[in-house]
Amino acid sequence: MPTEQELLDLFNSRSQDETAVRKPAKTPENAAAKDRYDQCQTAIETVVLPYLAGVQKKFGPAKFWYGLHRDHGDGRPSGVSFRVGEGRPTHVSTADGTITVIRGDILDRSANPAGQMPEMSAPGELTAENIARLIEIAILNP
């Protein structure tokens, strides 16, 4: 069994290796992804959060909860999660400018039935209409 120090040394060596791998070269592709990510963050701030706040005000916090995911680098929003009643949570993530929607447990494939989720792949698709559709899905499929 490894000692605590050996575990710490292993963690530190892996963290340094991963940091070296994660540092992307500055390329046009990375600049485009950063631009999409910035647009997603702005859409969450200006469209998604105000819409979710309005839904929560109408439903009440006992029937509708939402939370914000923040980017560790700049503190701006990087995603949201919400739950209707006692149903499964819905998570909207915008990592690297790519929008991902997951309902319930990320490992439960049945929680994310194909064809029900609205198509959201570009920052401009983070609209009140698409968020309303996700809420509707959460109500109909708790």
Residue 100's beta-bridge partner residues? 93
| pTM, two decimal places | 0.73
- SS3 call for 44: helix
Q: Which of 37, 141, 36, 38 is nearest to 90 (CA)?
A: 141
Q: Give the domain ranges of the chain.
A: 26-140
Whether the predicted pLDDT of 134 surpasses 70: yes
Give the residue carrying structure tokens 């400018």.
Answer: 97
Residue 109 has what pLDDT? 54
Query: Mapping DSSP to helix (H, G, I), strand (E, B) and coil, where does residue 81 land?
Result: strand
pLDDT digits (tens, 9 = 90+) for 6-38: 788 787 777 665 555 455 544 446 888 889 999
Q: How far apart are CA 56 and CA 64, in angstroms?
A: 5
pLDDT band at 140 (very low <50, low <70, confident <90, very high): confident
Percentage, residues of the chain above pLDDT 70: 80
